[in-house]
Structure 1
Amino acid sequence: MPLQILLPMVVIGIAGIVILLHLLGRSELARLEDEAAARRAWLREYPDTPPTRVILSHDRHAALIETAHGAGVVWPMGMDTTARYLRGAEIHRTKDGLRVDLPDFAAPRIRLRLNDEEADLWPTLMNRKDSP
């Protein structure tokens, strides 16, 4: 098949799939319905480290997790969630929340949408050395 036909077919096909998924509601971010959902999301990644405290963001798209081994965060990656410890993280305030730079090649940067109150409080909790 000539490239002049193949390339547009591939581009239109991918665009069609993206539009279809969006129309079916499959493009929205995962939402943590309650603290129990955030705990389950954390435990999927770190089953041996149960959370001692969970703080949900106002929009329920992220959760700050405290454990006996330090603080972590749960956030959406599409319709699923992922979690990381915050050891070695650099936390920066942005206009709509926080940017967390991690020494982790699998998740080098996390953008958290937080309201002003959360964006002021969370860095303090993320950096606490006296976590339970």
Structure 2
Amino acid sequence: MRETEDAVPSEKKRFYSLEQVAELLGVNYQLIYKLVRAGELPAARIGKVYRVVRSDLDRYIEQSKGHAAGGVCSVCGNRYQSRLSLKHECVDCGGPICVDCWSRKKARRCPAHGRGGAAGTKMGNS
């Protein structure tokens, strides 16, 4: 009977496996794994197993309430349904920048704050 109790997430537990977090949130394991790997959901890796602290899970849930709707990239204007695609910010105003603009275009600033690319950040004498 002990195995059954450990398999079911309990509100009183302090640490959860990724499977238990997925069950608590009603999503699949792969989504939770991606959130952990992206750094969106803090987790400790103990051996080969990730563990999520209940307080970190609660904090993630509270933070994600405002971000669940996604948003619009301030550089390219594309609309995204997930905040995972908009995890970077303009260095001046904090406006969301999509992963594509950040990595491919090297955009660090939105158009309102000058040249967004890496070339715009190089100043001074060579």
**What is the TM-score with the length of structure 2 in the denominator?**
0.28
- Higher strand residue share: 1
**What is the TM-score with the length of structure 1 in the denominator?**
0.28
- Higher helix residue share: 2
